[in-house]
Amino acid sequence: MRQDDLVTDEPRSRRGAAGADEELIRALYRDHAGPLLGFVLHLVGGDRQRAEDVVQETLVRAWKHADRLDAAAGSVRPWLVTVARRIVIDDHRRSVARPPETDAAPLELLPAADELDRALRLMAITDALGAVTEAHREVIAQTYLKGRTVAEAAAELGIPEGTVKSRIFYALRSLKIALEERGVTS
- Every domain range in the chain assigned CATH 1.10.10.10: 115-181
Which contacts qualify for 153-158: CB closer than 8 Å, 24 or more apart?
none
Distance CA 70, CA 48 (A): 30
Residue type present at position 120: L
Residue type present at position 60: V
Residue type present at position 148: R
Q: What is the pLDDT of residues 90-110, one digit of tens each?
A: 988 888 887 777 777 777 777
Q: In terms of pLDDT, which residue wins out, 185 or 177?
A: 177
Would you say 167 and 135 are in contact if contact means Cβ atoms under 8 Å apart?
yes
Q: What is the CATH T-level fold of the domain 3-97, as seen in this structure? A: Rna Polymerase Sigma Factor; Chain: A (1.10.1740)
pLDDT of residue 6: 46
Q: What is the pLDDT of residues 98-144, one digit of tens each?
A: 777 777 777 777 766 667 777 888 888 888 889 899 999 999 999 98
- CATH architecture of residue range(s) 115-181: Orthogonal Bundle (1.10)
pLDDT of residue 142: 93
